[in-house]
C-alpha cells in the first residue's frame, strides 16, 4: 500500500497548483500603492485542497483526478472572475468553502473504499 500513496501524480500536481494559486490570490490590490497579503484569503483558498489532499493518497485513480481537475478549474475561474472582471471579495471566501463541502463525499468514499481500519490492524500485528 505504501507505493499507492504517491501513485496519483496528477492529484499531487493539482494540490501543488492549488497551493500556488491560493498563495498568488492572497495578494490583493491595495489602492495605487501595491499589493496587500491577506492570510484569510490564503486559508480560504487552501481549504478545498486540504480536503482533496485527504482523498488523493487513499483513492488514486480517475475519480480523484477528475474531481481535482474540476476543483482547480473552478478555483481558477473564480480567481480570474474576481480579480480581473468583477471585484467581489466575498466570493473569494464562500466559493472555496462550498468546494470543500462538495469534496467531503469524495473523502468519505475514499475512506470506505480503502477501509483504513483493516490496514491499521495489519500494521499492529493482528
DSSP code per residue over 38-52: -HHHHHHHHHHHHHH
Residue-range definition of the domain harbouring residue 59? 2-124
Cα–Cα distance measured from residue 117 to residue 90, given in angstroms and rounded to the nearest whole number: 40
Q: What is the per-residue pLDDT across 57-70, written as a single tens digit (0 to 9) for each? A: 988 889 999 999 99
Task: Compute how many other C-beta atoms are within 10 angstroms of the C-beta atom of residue 90.
Answer: 8
State yes or no: pLDDT of 46 exceeds 90: yes
Mean pLDDT of 71-77: 96
Cα–Cα distance measured from residue 55 to residue 108, given in angstroms and rounded to the nearest whole number: 8
How many domains in the chain?
1
Task: Compute how many other C-beta atoms are within 10 angstroms of the C-beta atom of residue 59.
Answer: 23
Q: What is the pTM of this model?
A: 0.82
Q: What is the pLDDT of residue 59?
A: 87
State yes or no: pLDDT of 23 exceeds 60: yes
Q: What is the pLDDT of residue 118?
A: 61
Query: Could you give the 3-state DSSP secondary structure of residue 34?
Result: strand
Burial 21-34 (b: 16+ CB within 10 A, else e): bbeebbeeeeeeee
Cα–Cα distance measured from residue 28 to residue 5, given in angstroms and rounded to the nearest whole number: 35
Of how many residues is the chain composed? 126
Amino acid at each position: 500500500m505504501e507505493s499507492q500513496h504517491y501513485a496519483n501524480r496528477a492529484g499531487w500536481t493539482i494540490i501543488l497548483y492549488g497551493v500556488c494559486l491560493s498563495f498568488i490570490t492572497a495578494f490583493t490590490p491595495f489602492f495605487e500603492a501595491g499589493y496587500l497579503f491577506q492570510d484569510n484569503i490564503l486559508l480560504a483558498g487552501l481549504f478545498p485542497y486540504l480536503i482533496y489532499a485527504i482523498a488523493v493518497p487513499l483513492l488514486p485513480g480517475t475519480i480523484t483526478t477528475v474531481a481535482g481537475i474540476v476543483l482547480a478549474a473552478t478555483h481558477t475561474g473564480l480567481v480570474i472572475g474576481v480579480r480581473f472582471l468583477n471585484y467581489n471579495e466575498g466570493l473569494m471566501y464562500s466559493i472555496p468553502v462550498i468546494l470543500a463541502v462538495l469534496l467531503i463525499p469524495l473523502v468519505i468514499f475514499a475512506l470506505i473504499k480503502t477501509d483504513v481500519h483493516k490496514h491499521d490492524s495489519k500494521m499492529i500485528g493482528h
